Amino acid sequence: MDDEIKINFNKPMLVLKIRDTYKAPYHKNKYLNVTKKHLESTAELKKFLQEYTLNWSSGMYDLQFLLVAGDYNRSPIYSTFMRFDVREGKVVKIWKISPYTKKEYMVWDFLKVSRKKRVAAKKRKVKRNAVKKAKKPKKKVVKKKKLVKKKPKKVKPKKVVKKVKKKKK
């Protein structure tokens, strides 16, 4: 969305239940503390949200961040960070594009950046492993042939029978 908008993750985000005709703060959990750690992937985000949504009623919810802090003369201004659907206590869908403004929700900027970081880190790791493999010369393993000494066969000595001639008398 806009590059000017900065999101303060130190302050809790407002949860709004979306009805047919209006949005209202959700009475069970008015605020959620979302951090950048939760925005590492969609699976991490869903896992974080489902810790809270187990007892929520089915429907659409908005998560809004504080854009401008209010004071005693004016109320605070919030902007929608993300929209998600809950069915039977589980986060079913995280909306990508707003149905009203046709713009992408801000949560996707963080999810794209974290995905790019993961992909880049994976590529660096593969590259490092390839370099390590290339640097190490492979040692040739020479297998020595085992010399098998043949034992000479034992020859049994033949019995020598001497023929004795009898002398004639």
pLDDT tens-digit map of 146-160: 777 777 777 776 666
pLDDT of residue 1: 44
pLDDT of residue 12: 85
Each residue's pLDDT tens digit, 64-88: 888 778 778 888 778 888 899 999 8
User: Among the residues of the chain, which ranges form H helices?
Assistant: 42-53, 107-135
Each residue's pLDDT tens digit, 11-46: 888 888 888 787 777 777 788 888 888 888 888 888
Cβ 70 vs Cβ 77: under 8 Å: yes
Q: Which helix (H) or strand (E) holds 20?
A: none
Each residue's pLDDT tens digit, 99-136: 888 888 888 888 888 777 777 888 888 887 777 666 66
pLDDT of residue 151: 74
Q: Report residue 64: phi and psi, to 5°.
A: -120, 140
Who wins on pLDDT, 33 or 4? 33
For residue 49, pLDDT over 60 is answered with yes
Q: What's the rounded Cα separation, in Å, for the pair 82 and 13?
A: 10
pTM of the complete model beyond 0.75: no
